[in-house]
Amino acid sequence: MQPDLLRGPGAARRPAPLRGRADPGSAWEAARADLDGLPGGAGLNIAHEAVDRHAADPARAGRVAVRWLDRSDTVHDLTYRDLAGRTARFAHLLARLGVGPGERVFTLLGRVPALHVTVLGALKARCVVSPLFSAFGPAPVRERMRLGGAAVLVTTPQLYRRTIAPIRAGLPDLRHVLLTGGDGSGGGEPGTLDLDALLDAEEPTFTIGPTDPQDPALLHFTSGTTGTPKGALHVHEAVVAHLATARAALDLRPDDLFWCTADPGWVTGTSYGIVAPLVVGATLLSDQGEFDALRWYRTLEREGVTVWYTAPTAIRMLMRRGEDGVPALPRLRLVASVGEPLDPDAVRWTARVLGRAAHDTWWQTETGAIMIAHRPGDDVVPGSMGRPLPGVQAGLLARGPDGRAAVGAHGGVHVLHGVAEGELALRTGWPSMFRAYLGAPERYAACFADGWYLTGDIARRDLQGHYRFVARADDVIKSAGHLIGPFEVESVLTAHPAVVEAGVIGTPDPVAGELVKAFVTLRAGTEPTEELRAELLAHARRALGVVAPKEIVFADALPHTRSGKVMRRLLRARELGLPDGDLSTLETAR
């Protein structure tokens, strides 16, 4: 563990790598000016900006902060005043348990109010919060908690028995496990504490201690394509970007009811499922239920959701179900997408069926906030991610033979101008930029060159400055001298009315190097005939020419990461007859 990367107030400080290189931009400064800061000039704390400053204002204290739908579809409301009290109790509890600033508090929870209380209460206590995906098995959970030095875990009795009890002995840093049932059933497991009962004994007010904007706040794990999970560390200053991008990309306002469907175990579930809407002062909707098309439509209509942030996978699942029973949604002002590229057919479907074209947004775990998007009011260009948000300087870098940015011997890069294709890069210094990969300084340093953050994504820019996602650098298919982005081929295939989803890979070929092979799932009621296969191949050749797939395989379902992205690596592994390996640890940042 590196103490200066997970430090509490008063610890030795050093400048975060490559900070301050980007144009500060009026967007960041305008957002910073709209934050209160801790009383008496004591710094900047995410929880204060998301909760306490609203609760201290009589005009806002009674506003609903969290609207929770439990599994039975019953509505439970928490006001900003309620949330301030509960998070204060959790902060007091941490102090009473001897958990101090800079220590790591992990969550293994679904979409339940205890999640919001834990995350924001731990941030009040100036701890570092690390959310875990509740569907992970014991192995990936153990690896992340071990790497992160977990001092506290908050989970449920069921998840404890299934996931934590088998690995508890291998987590020597874990001092406290707090169980919550939400119904008084949090106790009973040996070596654990009943969170719900303990909170009742704590005080409902808490004074947040001095918090430097560069103090660590959030630790998000992402596996990338190879190796152990990477722990991307973010600081309290990230709240500046959360506020600015909530406004610029999602048009969030205090009177909005905002629904982010991302799982709380991923960065979107924290940055936009918790922090951003609360900092704005809006009401966030949290649904404990799993995906069900009718339930989602009913929720959008009954609750009057105004801004909906979801994933392309979810949109495709709605598309696959058909259009019967889709309600009118007059209050829905904006639909936005995150997590993977949004194919043009999904954009056109949302425009036609939901009455709002979905706006794509691009960002990564490492960026901490949305960087590129179709802004509210912009015409949506299907297949495009949009343009850089105010304050974000994006560029394309010339690539070498491996598809990655060509970095010179002295760390220099060549920035492409005009219409171009290259590795997408961001000028460093935006407020939510990650500050470290935990315990991996060389891995972190390799992400930067010449003042640019190298995203590992290949993108294309048009004359209007719109960026289009092409592929992850390690997904690019090299066939007969052509560099082919799988997403471009997938978008063409999903534009066919019979296809819901596609996954495209390169397969070895002794002449061409690689040949393009596509796996597709079909709409309900569509038969996988040889005639349809020939039709799809011809459809792809007309649109793509020589880079069209040479083979199409019909699949009942495609493998996905836990956050819904098609796992091309697994398709390749299966094609080559390789073992799947521990798939639960695979998660790439888009």
Q: What is the DSSP string of 151-199?
A: EEEEE-HHHIIIIIGGGGGG-TT--EEEE--SSS----STT-EEHHHHH
> Looking at the predicted structure, is the pLDDT value of residue 453 above 80?
yes
> Nearest 5°: CA angle at 434, between 429 and 436?
115
Helices (H), 342-440: 344-349
Integer distance in angstroms from the first to the last C-alpha of the chain? Answer: 27
pLDDT at residue 139 tops 90: no
Amino acid identity, residue 11?
A
pLDDT band at 590; cut points 50, 70, 90: very low
Written as one letter, the residue type at 355 is G
Q: In this predicted model, what pLDDT tens digit does every residue of 401-415 receive, in sequence order?
A: 777 899 998 899 999
Question: Which of 79, 15, 57, 119 minimizes the C-alpha distance to 436?
Answer: 15
Provide the CATH number for the domain around residue 468. 2.30.38.10
DSSP 8-state symbol, 566: B
Measured distance CA(271)–CA(119) in Å, rounded = 11
Number of structural domains found in the chain: 3
Q: What confidence tens digit (pLDDT) does each residue in 497-530 have? A: 999 999 999 888 777 778 899 999 999 889 999 9
In this prediction, residue 99 carries a pLDDT of: 98
Residues 547 and 505 in one domain: yes
Give the separation between CA 232 and CA 403, rounded to whole angstroms. Answer: 24
Q: Is 53 exposed, middle or buried (0-12, 13-18, 19+ CB in 10 A)?
A: buried
Please tell me whether residues 257 and 379 are part of one structural domain: yes
- 297 falls within a domain: yes
Residue 302 predicted with pLDDT over 50: yes
Answer whether residue 569 is part of any domain: yes
Give the model confidence (pLDDT) of 252-266 as tens digits: 999 999 999 999 998
Q: Which of 332, 148, 328 is nearest to 233 (CA)?
A: 148
Kindly report the average pLDDT of the chain as a whole number. Answer: 88
Helix boundaries (H) for 265-390: 267-270, 276-280, 293-303, 312-321, 344-349
Same structural domain, 276 and 295: yes
In the block, residue with structure tokens 């941490």: 94
Indicate if the pLDDT at residue 27 is higher than 90.
no
For the chain, give the percent of residues with pLDDT over 90: 70
Contacts of 145 (CB under 8 A, 6+ apart): 106, 132, 153, 171, 174
Residues 53 and 196 reside in one and the same domain: yes
- Give CA separation, 367 vs 76, 428, 508, in Å: 33, 10, 34
Antiparallel, parallel or unpaired: β 193-194 and 176-179:
parallel
Rounded to an integer, the average pLDDT of 556-585 is 69
Q: Are residues 503 and 469 in the same domain?
A: no
* Torsion-angle region of 403 (φ positive above 0: left; ψ -120 to 50: alpha; else: beta): left
Top-confidence residue, 62 or 321: 62
Are 313 and 293 contacting, i.e. CB atoms less than 8 angstroms apart? no
Sort strands 452-461 and 448-449 into parallel, antiparallel or unpaired: antiparallel
Q: How big, in percent rounded to 5, are the helix, strand and coil portions of the chain? A: 30, 25, 45
- The reported pLDDT for the residue numbered 231 is 95
**pLDDT exceeds 90 at position 362:** yes
Q: Which two tokens stand for residue 206?
A: 């808490």
CA distance 178 to 192: 6
Least confident of 56-65, 140-149, 254-263, 359-368: 140-149
pLDDT band per the 50, 70, 90 thresholds, residue 7: very low
The tally of CA atoms less than 13 A away on the side-chain side of residue 526 is 21
Q: How confident is the model at residue 339 (pLDDT cuts 50, 70, 90)?
A: confident
- Tell me the residue range of the domain where 376 lies: 29-392
Taking a C-beta distance cutoff of 8 angstroms, is the pair 285, 302 a contact? no
Whole-number pLDDT of residue 544: 81
Contact 139, 582 (CB under 8 A): yes
Contact 262, 268 (CB under 8 A): yes
Same domain for 279 and 182: yes
Q: Residue 6: pLDDT above 50?
A: no
The SS3 assignment for 1 reads coil
Q: Is residue 3 in some structural domain? A: no
Q: What was the pLDDT predicted at 136?
A: 81
The Cα–Cα gap between 265 and 136 comes to 10
Distance CA 379, CA 347 (A): 12
Q: Would the pLDDT of 576 be above 80?
A: no
Residue 22 belongs to a domain: no
Please report whether residue 261 resides in a domain: yes
Say which residues have a Cβ less than 8 Å from residue 298's Cβ, sequence separation at least 6: 73, 327
55 and 116 assigned to the same domain: yes
Residue-wise DSSP of 57-91: STTTTTSEEEEEE-TT--EEEEEHHHHHHHHHHHH
Q: Are strands 467-472 and 452-461 parallel, antiparallel or unpaired?
A: antiparallel
What is the rounded CA–CA span in Å between residue 166 and residue 158?
A: 13
pLDDT at 587 over 70: no
360 lies in some domain: yes
- Backbone φ and ψ for 507, nearest 5 degrees, come out as -115, 145
* Residues 164, 294 within the same domain: yes
User: Higher-confidence residue: 291 or 219?
Assistant: 219
CATH number for position 542: 3.30.300.30
d(CA 66, CA 319): 29
- Residue 527 CB neighbour total at 10 angstroms: 9
Q: Are residues 377 and 263 in the same domain?
A: yes
More confident residue, 393 or 473: 393
Q: Quick one: pLDDT at residue 570?
A: 85
Closest CA to 264 of 284, 244, 241: 284
Cβ proximity of 185 and 91 under 8 Å:
no
Q: Is residue 380 part of a domain?
A: yes
Q: Are residues 466 and 544 in the same domain?
A: no
Predicted confidence band at 305 (pLDDT cuts at 50, 70, 90)?
very high
In this structure, the answer to whether residues 267 and 323 fall within a common structural domain is yes
pLDDT of residue 583: 32
| Whether residue 409 is found in the same domain as residue 486 | no
How confident is residue 227, by pLDDT bands cut at 50, 70 and 90? Answer: low
User: What is d(CA 590, CA 574) in angstroms, rounded to the nearest whole number?
Assistant: 23
pLDDT of residue 25: 56
Q: Worst-scoring range by mean pLDDT, 48-62, 183-197, 312-326? A: 183-197
Nearest-Å Rg of the Cα atoms of the chain is 23
Beta pairing class for 257-260 and 283-287: parallel
Over 80: is that where the pLDDT of 62 sits? Answer: yes
Instruction: Kindly state whether residue 333 falls inside one of the protein's structural domains.
Output: yes
